[in-house]
Structure 1
């Protein structure tokens, strides 16, 4: 039986169920070849079937699971060409947003971005994966929102939810948390210096490196 737990930070029970399934996939507790029942998942998480169904529907809409009528659900990990498409979309959205965050964001927003990078650095120094990846996502989200693009931020978050099924990018070829943090440093440095061109270039370089590692893992 897989070992799953509801995350305490979720804003809704359905959201907690969806997150627990994502975490279970990343941890290897839920595998693509097996079909799991709604009853089984509800029992493991100690919740009723209603939020389980709602959470699974959210994951199905994002293309993360396949719901099998009268049987349950099955995990659908992204394939290499899916990853290439997803990172391609992010490359179209995030580098220009980094430029705008550098050129147009307020000093207060820049201070929040600086703090997010410091949180990543502290987590990397401790080797704390559980703290590092939320900080990574938060930094990307802050950069997008500082560019004045909240809808783009929501799109990118959904895309990252899909690629998260592959596990953290460190598993692709041994890239460390410190190395990933180092890829973000020139982005933030350029943003804080209000150097839009450098911020755009640094974000593009980071995403291209991530694409290669994720695609290697998907293959």
Structure 2
């Protein structure tokens, strides 16, 4: 596989600004993981820590630390004396990840709809609306982060932390290259609005609708978000 080295930016990446609420290492790790899932960071390119640090407006040290964290997760690999390369995935990998998510998340989401109170579910609406806001701005990294918070927050109501950890890892390993195409086609907002419809069905305890909506949503994650068609 040909490798393109990114020693200087060939164009500005859509990376979020770094805030002071968490350690720089945690923030950068979080932001890079979201950028990777959103397809902002691409396989076959070697990203140098100093260049990425310049994008974030921080020193290279927390970026190197963050990339090492991602390397431990199997998301990137170290390229000696150059930087880090994103590990590519096959179409079969993405199909397999989606299948596992469907097997876990559909029944788990229905179970949460059966047991969670409106008071427990309603706080998720802020995340659902943040997803739509990010979609309208075309901010893919913010979109992925808000989507992560919504779905993991929903699954946390199931009460099984191992289930949440498994889905978190599957999400981190996914690639959603089709999001840019959805933004260009003006369809990302439509996809974003699925979250609030799902939440409304859960609060109403319409279990048939909940099962249909989460299954349809995960199908869109694979067909529309990953492929863009």
TM-score calculated relative to the size of structure 2: 0.74
Partner of 1:67: 78
| C-alpha deviation, 1:99, in angstroms | 0.8
Q: What is the correspondence of 1:52-201 to structure 2 with a 5 Å cutoff?
A: 52-124=63-135, 127-130=136-139, 131-163=142-174, 165-167=175-177, 169=179, 171=181, 174=185, 176-201=187-212
Aligned residues: 213
Any gaps of 5 or more consecutive residues in structure 1? none
Q: Distance in 1 between matches of 2:132 and 2:21?
A: 24
Gap runs ≥5 in structure 2: 1-7
Distance in 1, Cα, partners of 2:39 & 2:217: 25
SS in 1 for 2:110: helix
What is the RMSD computed on CA atoms of the aligned residues? 3.2
Residues 127 and 150 in structure 2, CA contact (< 8 A), matched pair in contact too: yes
Paired with 1:205 and 1:37, the residues of 2 have a C-alpha distance of 38
Tell me, in whole angstroms, the C-alpha distance in 1 between the residues paired with 2:103 and 2:83: 36
Inter-partner Cα distance in structure 1 for 2:35 and 2:195: 27
Aligned mate of 1:46, from 58, 64, 70: 58
